[in-house]
Structure 1
C-alpha cells in the first residue's frame, strides 16, 4: 500500500447534474442521485453528515450524564463520601484501561464489529443508549448510607464509559482516516460542531421539562426519549459513513496467520504504545489535555451545584438558570462555528493558546471582584464553561496531526488512529474521576454533605465557609490550570499544519 501522502484523492463528483435517464432503473442509481442532491442542491456533504450523526447522539447523552449524575447521587440518592470515592477510584482505573485496550483491539482485531470503524459504531450504539439510562432508575429506595447506591454508581459509570469509549474511539479514528487534508478536517469539525450544538440543547430542554430535575418522573421520561433518538443517530453513522482506509481489511486478510498472532501479542501492544509515546508532541499534548479534561469535568459536574449555592434563587429564577445551564453546552459549538475562518487563517494551535490566556485572565478578574456580584458570577460561570468546552472541541485536530506524524515516521501501512486516541485517553481520562473526588472532599470539609439533611439543622455559619470555598474553587482552579496549560502547550511544534496541508 502506498504511503498516505502519495495516495491519489478520490475524484470529486461532478457538479453538473447528469441526464435524468441515468437516474432510472435501479436502487444504486436512486441512491447516487440522492447523494448528488444532498451535496450540490442542499449543500450537504453526505460523509461529513454521516460522521457527525454520532456526535449528535453522543452529545445528547453525554451532556445530560455529566451534568446531572453527581448531583443525583449526592443529593437524591444520598451516597456517602466513602462510597462516592470508591466508585470514582474503580471508575478511574477502568476509564484509563479501556481506552488503550479498545484502541488496540479496533486497530488489530480481525472481527468486523471491532476492526471496521462503522461496525463498531453500529453495533455499539444500542448498548451505549442502554448504559446511558442506568443512573436515572434507582434499584430501590435508597436510604442515607445505603451500600447499594455505591454499587449502582460503579456499574453506571463503568458501563457508560465503556460503551462511550468503544463507539467514540471508532469515530475518532474515522476523523483521522476520512481525509488527511486540513480543509477536509475543518469541514468535519464544522459539521461536528453543528451536531454538538443541536445535541447540547438536550440540557436546555431537560432543565425546562424537568424543572432542573425537580420533577424526576419527567426527567426519566426525557432520558428514555434521548437514548432512543441518540441510538438512531449513531446507527446512521454506522450505515452511511466511509473512510479512505476501507480497503485495508483486504490487505490484512492476505497476511499469514503467524503475522496475525504476532500482531495481537502483548509485546506488539507495548512496542506500538512505546513508539507513540516517544513523540515529544504527543507527551506535550497529553499533559495539556489531562488538565483540560479535569477542568471540563469540574465545570460539567459542579456548575449547577456552585450556581445553586452562590447565586440566590431570588436573583435568578429557575427558568433563567435553565437557560444559563443550556448556554454552557450550546454556546461552545456556536463559538467554534464562528471561529471557522480564524481556524483556517491562524490554525488550531494559536486559537487554543489564546483560549488558555482568556480563561486565566477571566478567573483572576472574578477573584478580584468577589462573590457578591451575582450577575457577573453567573456570566463568569457560563463563559468559563463555554471557553473550556469550545477549545476542547478542537483537540481532534492536533491528535489527527500526531497520527499523521506517527504514520510517516514509522512508515506504517495504515495509521494507528485508535491506538493514538486510546493512549491519549489512558493518561487523560483519570482526570474525569479526580476532579469530582477532589472537589467533593473539599466541599464536605465545609459541611456540604449536611446541606440537604432534612433531619438536622446545621450551623448556618458553617455554610458561609462553604460558600467561600466554592468561590475560591471556581476562581483558583481555572487560574492554576490555565497557567499549567500555557506552559505545556507553548512548546508544541505542530503549529502550522493549516498552512502546510496538501490541497
Structure 2
C-alpha cells in the first residue's frame, strides 16, 4: 500500500463507502421500526407480512448478487469500485423511501404494510449490491494481515463519523418528535452519503484490478448458470470454519438487530422521562453507535497482538456477564439500566465491526484450497449473508409478537388510553428481554465460536 502525506490512500478510498453507508444504515435501522409502529400505526399482521417477504428477499439477493459480481463480464458489475460508483445514487434514494408516507395513514391501513415491504426490500437490495462489492474490496485490496488491520482502522474512523448521524438526527428532530426536521435531515444525509461512496467508486482499486492478467477474469470467467452457482456454493459450504462463523454470525445479526430496533423503545418505556433528560437520552442513543468504533480503534494493538479470534470470544463472555449483573441489579436503577443498554449495543456492534477479518481469511483459505486464479470474495460474503440476513427479520417479528402478548399494541394505539398500571407486565417483559436475550445469545455464540480454527493469521509474517 502506498502512502501519501501520511494517508493510506487505498484504505481511505475503501472507508468512504463505510462513512456513507453508516450514515444511512444507522438511521434506517434505528428509526424504521418505531416509525411504522408508533407513527404509521401499522398492524402486527402487516408488519409480520412485510418482514417475511423481506426475510426471503434478504436471503436470496446476497448470494445472487455475490455470484453476479464475481462472474459477470460487465465491468460496472464485476469491478468492485464500479459497482459502488453506479449503485450509490440508487442506494441513497432507497434510504429515503420509509420517511415519506404515501398518504396520511390510518391505524391498521394496509398501505402502510405495503410501504414497509417495498422500503425494506428496495433498501436492502441496493445495500447488498453496494456493500457486497465493498466487502469483496476488503479481501482483495491486500492479503496481508497488517494491511487489513489498516483497513479496519480507517474503516472504524469512518464508521465513527457515520454513526454520529444518529446523535445529530436525534438532536435536530428531538428524537423524531419534529418529523419535518427528521425528513430534511435524511435528505441531506442521502446526498452526503452518495458523494462519499462515489469517492470509493473512483479511487477504490483492488490489487486484482491492477494486474493486467486479472483483467481476463472479466472476459473468460464461468457463465452465469445454476450448475456453476451450485458448484461454487457447495465448495464454500464444505469449509468447516465457514459454517462455524456463519452460525455464530447469525446470532450476532439477531442481537445487533434487536439492539438497534428496540433500544429506543425499551429505554422510553423502562426509564421515565423525568428520570433522564431528553438531551442525555439523545447522547445515549448516539453513543450506542459511536462508541463501538472508538472501542475497536482503542483495541487496535490488542487485535494486532492477540488476533480477532480471542477478541471476539472474550467479547461474548463480557456480554453474558453484564446481562447477569443487570438481572441481579433490577430495573429500578435507571442510570444503571441506561448504561447497560448502551454498553450492550456497543459490545455487539464493536465485535460485528471486525467480522470482515475472519471472512477475508475464509476467502483466502477457499482460494488456496481450490487453486483459484482470483478470489470469489463476493460469493463468500454473499453466502454468509444468505444464512445470517434472515435474522434481521426474525428479530423484530419475534420481539414485536412477544411485546404484543403483554399489550404493546394498545400502548401505541391512538384509540385507547389505558391505565398505566395495565402495563406493569409489559415493562417486566421488556426488562427480562433486555437481559435474557443477550445472555442466551452470548452463551450460544461461545459454544459455536470455540471450535473455529483460523486463529493465527495475525502471526503470519508480513511479506
TM score, norm. by length of structure 1: 0.90
Q: 1:227-257 CA distances to partner (integer Å, 9 max, x unpaired)?
A: 00000000000001111110455223563xx
Per the alignment, residue 134 of structure 2 pairs with: 171
Question: For the Cα contact (< 8 Å) 2:20–2:193, is it kept in 1?
Answer: yes
Separation in 2, partners of 1:369, 1:138: 42
Question: For the Cα contact (< 8 Å) 2:263–2:341, is it kept in 1?
Answer: yes
Choose the corresponding residue for 1:147, options 95, 110, 115: 110
Change beyond 3 A, Cα 1:44–1:444: same
* TM superposition shift of 1:459: 4.0
Per the alignment, residue 207 of structure 1 pairs with: 170
Aligned: 1:53 with 2:16 = yes
Per the alignment, residue 398 of structure 2 pairs with: 438
Which stretches in structure 1 are left out of the alignment for 5+ residues?
1-11, 14-38
Per the alignment, residue 205 of structure 2 pairs with: 242
* TM superposition shift of 1:265: 1.3
Mean Cα displacement is larger for which, 240-249 or 193-202?
A: 240-249
Aligned: 1:227 with 2:190 = yes
Pick the structure with greater CA Rg: 1
Per the alignment, residue 295 of structure 1 pairs with: 255
Choose the corresponding residue for 2:216, options 238, 251, 265: 251
Aligned: 1:307 with 2:272 = no
Aligned: 1:386 with 2:346 = yes
Separation in 1, partners of 2:328, 2:255: 21
* TM superposition shift of 1:458: 2.1
* TM superposition shift of 1:455: 2.5
Q: 1:143-166 CA distances to partner (integer Å, 9 max, x unpaired)?
A: 001000000000000000000000
Per the alignment, residue 65 of structure 1 pairs with: 28
Question: For the Cα contact (< 8 Å) 1:446–1:462, is it kept in 2?
Answer: no
Separation in 2, partners of 1:399, 1:67: 26
Separation in 2, partners of 1:252, 1:73: 45
Separation in 1, partners of 2:435, 2:219: 57
Residues 417-428 of structure 1 mapped to structure 2, 5 A cutoff: 417-428=377-388
Question: For the Cα contact (< 8 Å) 2:37–2:412, is it kept in 1?
Answer: no
Change beyond 3 A, Cα 1:373–1:251: same
Aligned: 1:284 with 2:273 = no
Q: 1:147-186 CA distances to partner (integer Å, 9 max, x unpaired)?
A: 0000000000000000000000000000000000000000
Separation in 2, partners of 1:108, 1:147: 40
Report the secondary structure of 2:208's partner residue: coil
Aligned: 1:356 with 2:316 = yes
Separation in 2, partners of 1:58, 1:363: 30
* TM superposition shift of 1:369: 1.1
Change beyond 3 A, Cα 1:160–1:501: farther
Choose the corresponding residue for 1:185, options 137, 140, 148: 148
Per the alignment, residue 135 of structure 1 pairs with: 98
Separation in 2, partners of 1:286, 1:477: 19
Aligned: 1:407 with 2:367 = yes
Question: For the Cα contact (< 8 Å) 1:175–1:185, is it kept in 2?
Answer: yes
Aligned: 1:475 with 2:438 = no
Per the alignment, residue 120 of structure 2 pairs with: 157
Separation in 2, partners of 1:335, 1:168: 23
Q: How many residues align?
A: 461
Separation in 1, partners of 2:4, 2:103: 54
* TM superposition shift of 1:112: 1.1
Separation in 1, partners of 2:408, 2:161: 34
* TM superposition shift of 1:47: 1.0
Separation in 1, partners of 2:241, 2:169: 40
Question: For the Cα contact (< 8 Å) 2:248–2:449, is it kept in 1?
Answer: yes
Report the secondary structure of 1:242's partner residue: coil
Aligned: 1:97 with 2:60 = yes
Q: 1:327-377 CA distances to partner (integer Å, 9 max, x unpaired)?
A: 000000000000000000000000000100000000011011110010000
Question: For the Cα contact (< 8 Å) 1:92–1:432, is it kept in 2?
Answer: yes
Separation in 2, partners of 1:254, 1:223: 40
Change beyond 3 A, Cα 1:264–1:501: farther
Mean Cα displacement is larger for which, 244-253 or 158-167?
A: 244-253
Change beyond 3 A, Cα 1:210–1:89: same
Which stretches in structure 2 are left out of the alignment for 5+ residues?
none
TM score, norm. by length of structure 2: 0.98
Separation in 2, partners of 1:180, 1:281: 18
* TM superposition shift of 1:46: 1.0
Report the secondary structure of 2:372's partner residue: coil
Per the alignment, residue 416 of structure 1 pairs with: 376
Q: Please provide the CA RMSD for this pair.
A: 1.1
